[in-house]
Structure 1
Amino acid sequence: MVKMLSRKKVYALMGLLTVFLLQPVLPSDAYGHSLFIQSSRYHVHAGKVSPLFFCYGHHIPVDDGVRAEKLKSVRVYTPAGDIRKIKIRNETCLHSYMVDYDGPGTYVLAAETNPGFYTVYMDEKGRERHTIKPKSAIIDRSGEIKLSLYSKQYAKTYVTCEKSSSDFPGRIGQNLELVPVRDISGLKAGDDLELKVYFKGKPYTGPGTWNATYNGFSTRSEDYYYSKTAVSGDTIRIPIPRSGRWFVRYSVKVDAEGADREKYLQEKQTATLVFQIPGEVKNPGK
């Protein structure tokens, strides 16, 4: 026998449903998800085939699946100077792909996203709305435009096969790129990571923001070991106090010009870097 709800409970449920329906619908991409490319291992032997995969979202080390349409390219730069383009599967997943480390040296795993829009605006009823459309698509039926971005991301990590390349391939030519000034595989806990920032092929001299964390620091969304820090110029120095897998994120925003202002107010570009600091064996099994 089905138990009928009281009129009071029905009204309460209707109220909750109304609140739910009035909330803005936020597509996953609209949260400003960050893209990090990772390797299962950071030191491999020649002949080893090992996977790469992604962190996409706000929780380290793995969060949401990545839509195939989000990825413009995934590439492997070999010590021999070859660039291997990986065919992206047409699905939403972690996009893990096997990498063949067939010779000694430093390999670079890199990815680039397709650009996308993110707009936050107030509708005619005063409600905040989020969309992945350009502002030109919603301006006629909105009030205030609170945020209007056109964004693109570049992700990178380094893997050493047997030994590092004699000429460390720090820079690969990404539009926005974090470039270690020395072989990143030689970093130890207690060292500083020094990065040079390149934007459109040149050292970047403008403002930006960075933050960084390591795997296991926090299970909370966007809770980084180093919170967002404003910097200016082409150099970033990050103290690395402990071993583990580290995630670095750096972003710049540039005001839109000319006809682009009809679609967005700012262009945001983000570069990420993942690296691993080896630690001591904690349980040798004796």
Structure 2
Amino acid sequence: MKRIGLFLTVFLFAMTSMANAHSVWINSFESHAHGAHHSMVSLGWGHALPMDDILNSPNGRIAIADFTLYDPAMNKTDLIKPPFKVEEPTASTADIDLYAADLATQKIALNPKSKDGVYQLSAVSVPTFYTQYIDKKGRERMELKPKNEVDGIKKVLMAVKFQAFAKSYLTKGTWVAPQPLGHGLEIIPRTDLSNLHVGDLVEVDVLFYGQPLTATAKSIEYITAHSSSFGQSDGFALFSYLMNGRAQFRVQSAGQWMISVDHKDDVTADGPLKELVGKADQVYHGASLTFNVQ
């Protein structure tokens, strides 16, 4: 019983830590007004759909290495990326600080000659090190460096390497199962996401460097799913274990939904991440997939 209790404590702590971490996602909202077909696209960062924080916030930031549109033939078009530097307030008063917000908002307009099929939107973050520690004066600090590059450490609280991947879709004509993009951690829908209704079953595959990610005794792998209209305001999400790389759930409400998955690997001297010994203790990957329900 003691071992089971310890396992549950560790598992719940891990779930809480991941739930409190920031996520990056892609907003994609299609419009067919006046006979046109376009999508308004932007990047989201934080916790709450569709917008929570700016990507270069002083409270936690992420740099985007790649923001790309793949057409149905897998041809690539670079999308506008937000700049990466810590944003300073453009104005301050006794009550507020005002920040300019660049969420990479842009319009993707299809035309009569556009290929039918699924257009994939992809965002990949710059791999980043986070070292949280107690310094020699007893202060808790955080630096975006590997721990071997941080001076004055008395005690390491956390030393991780993190990279995030995000996907969304724009469909013209008939939905076709999208091809994998080769993300380190990737969610691939097995369900037509272009015509979803409340109560529909959504099935996904999750790949970690091309291999199915699955729950084992060593690592309990799972996806979560929530919406701005279901779960988000109350701080909970739907949960589904990954078995042989596959998970599923039923959408509970109309609106924008996000599926998320996180995966952690420990750095060991004899493991596949041995080149990171001394730099980080764990490597985290995060992935998101956003879509809309009618």
Pick the TM interval, shorter chain: 0.7 to 0.9
Distance 1:265 1:93 in 2: 33
Which stretches of structure 1, 4 residues or more, deviate above 6 A after TM superposition?
42-46
User: Is the deviation greater in 51-60 or in 181-190?
Assistant: 181-190
Distance 2:177 2:207 in 1: 17
Distance 1:44 1:168 in 2: 26
Amino acid in the other structure paired with 1:172: L
Q: What whole-Å deviation, never above 9, does each CA across 1:54-79 have from its counterpart, x for those lacking one?
A: 11112222012224970111111112
Q: What whole-Å deviation, never above 9, does each CA across 1:146-171 have from its counterpart, x for those lacking one?
A: 2211000110011222x224x32152
Corresponding residue to 1:263 among 266, 276, 279: 279
Corresponding residue to 2:180 among 164, 171, 194: 171
Shift of 1:233: 4.1
Q: Which residue of 1 aligns with 2:126?
A: 114
Distance 2:36 2:73 in 1: 15
Cα gap change, 1:78/1:137 in structure 2, threshold over 3 Å: closer, same or farther?
same
Cα gap change, 1:46/1:145 in structure 2, threshold over 3 Å: closer, same or farther?
farther
Corresponding residue to 1:101 among 110, 125, 143: 110
Q: Which residue of 2 aligns with 1:237?
A: 248
Q: Which residue of 1 aligns with 2:97?
A: none
Distance 2:157 2:241 in 1: 21
Distance 1:57 1:234 in 2: 26
Amino acid in the other structure paired with 1:96: T
Distance 2:206 2:232 in 1: 29
Q: Secondary structure at the match of 2:194?
A: helix
Cα gap change, 1:136/1:209 in structure 2, threshold over 3 Å: closer, same or farther?
farther
Distance 2:265 2:192 in 1: 31
Q: Which residue of 2 aligns with 1:34?
A: 23
Q: Secondary structure at the match of 2:148?
A: helix
Alignment of 1:60 onto 2:71: no
Distance 2:250 2:38 in 1: 32
Q: Is the 8 A contact 1:211 1:224 kept in 2?
A: no
Q: Which runs of 5+ in 2 are unaligned?
A: 1-19, 85-100, 268-272
Cα gap change, 1:118/1:76 in structure 2, threshold over 3 Å: closer, same or farther?
same
Distance 1:194 1:36 in 2: 19
Q: What whole-Å deviation, never above 9, does each CA across 1:118-143 have from its counterpart, x for those lacking one?
A: 122222344432222221123x5223
Shift of 1:111: 0.7
Distance 2:35 2:277 in 1: 50
Q: Secondary structure at the match of 2:30?
A: coil
Corresponding residue to 1:249 among 246, 253, 260: 260
Distance 2:37 2:190 in 1: 28
Amino acid in the other structure paired with 1:81: M
Corresponding residue to 1:187 among 169, 182, 196: 196
Number of corresponding residues: 243
Q: Which runs of 5+ in 1 are unaligned?
A: 1-30, 279-286
Cα gap change, 1:273/1:45 in structure 2, threshold over 3 Å: closer, same or farther?
farther
TM-score of the aligned structures, taking structure 2 as reference length: 0.73
- RMSD over aligned CA atoms reads 2.8
Pairing 1:129-140 to 2, within 5 Å after superposition: 129-138=141-150
Cα gap change, 1:219/1:238 in structure 2, threshold over 3 Å: closer, same or farther?
closer
Cα gap change, 1:274/1:225 in structure 2, threshold over 3 Å: closer, same or farther?
same
Q: Highest CA radius of gyration, 1 or 2?
A: 1
